[in-house]
Structures are given as structure tokens and as C-alpha cells.
């Protein structure tokens, strides 16, 4: 087959696999679709003679993340998010920093990682993944307040988590890493990304006011999603923060003007998110570096446990007030799944000079465990806590 035919065959294969897995997951609703996709990807990657394209950091960050993050921002319950804004803000900022510090300390003293490697590995898995978390929550039909907290946290700490990673990595590669240097870089990345998002969102709303065709609305929102990410990335700011802010601006306008619910615009973004999700999670699973992981199983398990432990002080410490029920806090703690974004960050440091080569492999293993273990048990836990309306 020609290269074009091979690529088309690959897309068709992914489509068939994703459709069959969706049908299978509907018969087993306790297992989230994204977990099924990741597990299937791992199995496909182990098949002899089947050479799936290897996913790269740029592919995840440029092709998948902007569309998925924008769709998540577009469908946020903004009114409920405003009521939970303080909790979300604290979890997405202080919670990320606490998680990185606690996990880095555990990696250093319990597993023997050097401080720079410990901080980089912690930063890679610092943020909960909105792609995984939001998809699971929609299937659960959890209480609106809990959904707003987890969706808001996963969207905003997606941006802040990547900013922490970029700041830590740049500080380490500079040859003179320091918390002060990393903090300064983090501030520039997040504030700059937010500014780009405000500008992109305002420009998009201005154009959408004049759009009278569904096709034009869809095109403008696509440009807003990918354009805001690209502009921020080119300016060396946080592209994800820019996409979140732009998406929320468009969502606010679309709801007020009645252009969201039951429209072609929402239908398009729901379909795009479904397709991107299916392709991404299969690719992530198929790219699992199995031989390297098998040699590092004890480190992977130790790092995963450190990540889970590090989330506890952030969730329980930052939600003890304000009427957040204990059941919500338990699910928020366990539902902090890591996903494709952490994979992209792990791949980004895989060949970086001066970085412990174990870091990217261990991070990959931690993400897979998070998807399979936490993702596989989050639905039974939600039902046990009485938080599932499904």
C-alpha cells in the first residue's frame, strides 16, 4: 500500500476499534470508556507485526489537547463554577504546588531520585487530566457542585501544571535550578497565557456576534481553540491556559445568545471530542514502552503511590471548609486521574540531556496505572459514596 493508503487504513482501524469498544463499554458502564481505550491500546501495541504510529509530544499538544480542552471549557457549567471558584482556584494553584513538593520529597527520600529528577517527574504528573476526568464525570452524572470542582480543577490545573513543568524543566536545564527561578517562570507562563486567552476570546466573540451560519460559527471556534494555543505557544506562554480562557469566553457568549444547547455548534464539538478521545487514548496505550517499564516496575509502583499520597493534603486540606461534603472530597481525591497531557510531557523530556532517562518511562507507567487503577475504580467508588446518578 502507498503511504496515503496506509494512513487511511490506520484511521479506519482506529475508528472500528473505537466503535467496538464504545459498544462494549456500554454493556459494562462501571468501566469508563477512556480506561477501555487505553487498555485496548496497550494490547494493540503488544501485538506482533502490528506497527502503529508512535505518538509524540508535539502531536498530543498541538493536534489533540487544544480541541479537547476547548470542548471541555465550552461545556462547563459556568454558574456552578462561579459558586465553587475559590475551591477550584486553590486546587489549581496551591494544590498543584503542594502536590509537586510533597511528591518530589517522597521520590527523593523514599525512592532515591536526585532532587532535579524528582521535581521534573512530580511536575510531569502534577495536573489532573481534563480529558480523562471530565469524560468520566459525564458518565457518572455526579452532583453539579462536585462536577464543577473537579472539571474546573482539571481544566485550570492543566494549564498551571504544564506551566509548573515548563518552569521546573527550564530551571533544571539552565544549570542552576532554584525555586525562585521556577516561580518566576511559572508566573510569566500563566499570566501571559491568560492574557492571550482574553484577547483570543474577545476577538472570537466579536466575530461570532456577526456570524449567522452554523458552519461559520464552527470554523470560528476551531480557530479560537487552535489559534489561541498556537499564539501563546509561539510567544512562550502557556497555550493551555490560553485555550481555557478563550473557551470560557466563547461559552459565556454562546449561552447568553442561545447558540449552544441543541445547536450544530455543540454537536460538532461533542463529535470532535469523541473522535479525538478515541484516537488519543488508543495511541497513548499503544506507545507504552513495555520493555523499559518491566525493568522499572518497583519504581513505577512507588512513584504512583507517591503521587496518590501527594494529592491527599491538597484535596483534604483545601476543601475542609465551605460546605464540601466528605463524600465529595473522597471522590475528588480518588478521581484525580492523570492522562494524555502527562504522557506528552514525559515524551518531551525523554531525550533531554541531563535528565535521568528513567523519568519519562516511570511517568508513563504512573499515568497508565492512574488510568487503569483509579479510572477503573472511580465508578464503583462513586456509587459506594452515593454520588452517581447513572
Q: What is the pLDDT along the chain (390 residues), one digit of tens a residue?
A: 676 777 677 778 777 877 888 887 777 666 667 777 777 777 776 776 666 666 677 778 888 889 988 988 888 888 888 899 999 999 988 999 999 999 999 999 999 999 889 999 999 998 887 666 666 666 677 788 888 888 888 888 877 888 888 888 887 777 666 667 777 777 888 899 999 999 999 999 999 998 888 889 999 999 999 999 999 999 989 898 899 999 999 998 988 887 665 578 888 998 888 888 777 777 777 777 777 888 899 999 999 999 999 999 999 999 888 788 999 999 999 988 888 788 888 888 876 777 888 998 899 889 889 988 888 888 888 889 888 765
pLDDT value of position 135:
66
**Quick one: which of 67, 61, 63, 42 has its CA closest to 52?**
42
Dist. CA 91–CA 153, nearest whole Å: 6
pLDDT value of position 206:
94
Residues with Cβ within 8 Å of residue 64, at least 6 apart in sequence = 276, 279, 280, 340
pLDDT value of position 95:
92
Residue 279 in contact with residue 59, Cβ under 8 Å? no
Distances (CA, A) of 84 to 147, 150, 323: 10, 10, 10
Dist. CA 65–CA 305, nearest whole Å: 26
Q: Where are the domains of the chain?
A: 58-384
Evaluate whether the domain defined by 58-384 bears CATH number 1.20.1530.20: yes
pLDDT value of position 207:
93
Secondary structure (DSSP) of 65-95: HHHHHHHHHHT--HHHHHHTHHHHHHHHTHH
pLDDT value of position 51:
65
pLDDT value of position 260:
66
Residue 219 in contact with residue 196, Cβ under 8 Å? no
pLDDT value of position 123:
92
Q: How many C-beta atoms surround the C-beta of residue 164 within 10 A?
A: 29
Amino acid at each position: 500500500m502507498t503511504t496515503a493508503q496506509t494512513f487511511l487504513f490506520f484511521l479506519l482501524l482506529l475508528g472500528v476499534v473505537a466503535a467496538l469498544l464504545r459498544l462494549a463499554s456500554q454493556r459494562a458502564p462501571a468501566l469508563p470508556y477512556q480506561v477501555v481505550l487505553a487498555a485496548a491500546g496497550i494490547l494493540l501495541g503488544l501485538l506482533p507485526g502490528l506497527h502503529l504510529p508512535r505518538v509524540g509530544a508535539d502531536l498530543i499538544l498541538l493536534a489533540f489537547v487544544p480541541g479537547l480542552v476547548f470542548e471541555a471549557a465550552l461545556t462547563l457549567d459556568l454558574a456552578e463554577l462561579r459558586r465553587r471558584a475559590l475551591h477550584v482556584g486553590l486546587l489549581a494553584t496551591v494544590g498543584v504546588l503542594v502536590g509537586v513538593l510533597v511528591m518530589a520529597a517522597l521520590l527523593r527520600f523514599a525512592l532515591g531520585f536526585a532532587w532535579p529528577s524528582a521535581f521534573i517527574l512530580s511536575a510531569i504528573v502534577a495536573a489532573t487530566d481534563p480529558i480523562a476526568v471530565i469524560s468520566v464525570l459525564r458518565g457518572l452524572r455526579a452532583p453539579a457542585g462536585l462536577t464543577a470542582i473537579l472539571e474546573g480543577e482539571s481544566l485550570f490545573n492543566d494549564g498551571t501544571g504544564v506551566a509548573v513543568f515548563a518552569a521546573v524543566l527550564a530551571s533544571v536545564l539552565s544549570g542552576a535550578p532554584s525555586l525562585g527561578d521556577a516561580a518566576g517562570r511559572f508566573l510569566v507562563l500563566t499570566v501571559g497565557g491568560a492574557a492571550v486567552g482574553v484577547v483570543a476570546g474577545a476577538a472570537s466573540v466579536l466575530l461570532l456576534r456577526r456570524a449567522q451560519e452554523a458552519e461559520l460559527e464552527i470554523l470560528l471556534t476551531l480557530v479560537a481553540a487552535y489559534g489561541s494555543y498556537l499564539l501563546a505557544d509561539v510567544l512562550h506562554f502557556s497555550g493551555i491556559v490560553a485555550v481555557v480562557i478563550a473557551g470560557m469566553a466563547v461559552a459565556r457568549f454562546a449561552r447568553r445568545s442561545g447558540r449552544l444547547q441543541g445547536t450544530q455548534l455543540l454537536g460538532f464539538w461533542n463529535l470532535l471530542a469523541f473522535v479525538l478521545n478515541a484516537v488519543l487514548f488508543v495511541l497513548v496505550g499503544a506507545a507504552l514502552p513495555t520493555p523499559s517499564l518491566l525493568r522499572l516496575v518497583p519504581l513505577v509502583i512507588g512513584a504512583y503511590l507517591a503521587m496518590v499520597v501527594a494529592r491527599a493534603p491538597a484535596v483534604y486540606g483545601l476543601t475542609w471548609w465551605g460546605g464540601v461534603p466528605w463524600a465529595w472530597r473522597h471522590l475528588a481525591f480518588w478521581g484525580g486521574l492523570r492522562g494524555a497531557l502527562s504522557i506528552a510531557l514525559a515524551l518531551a523530556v525523554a531525550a533531554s540531556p541531563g535528565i535521568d532517562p528513567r523519568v519519562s518511562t516511570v511517568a508513563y507507567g504512573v499515568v497508565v496505572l492512574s488510568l487503569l487503577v483509579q479510572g477503573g475504580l472511580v465508578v464503583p467508588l462513586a456509587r459506594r459514596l452515593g454520588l452517581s446518578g447513572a
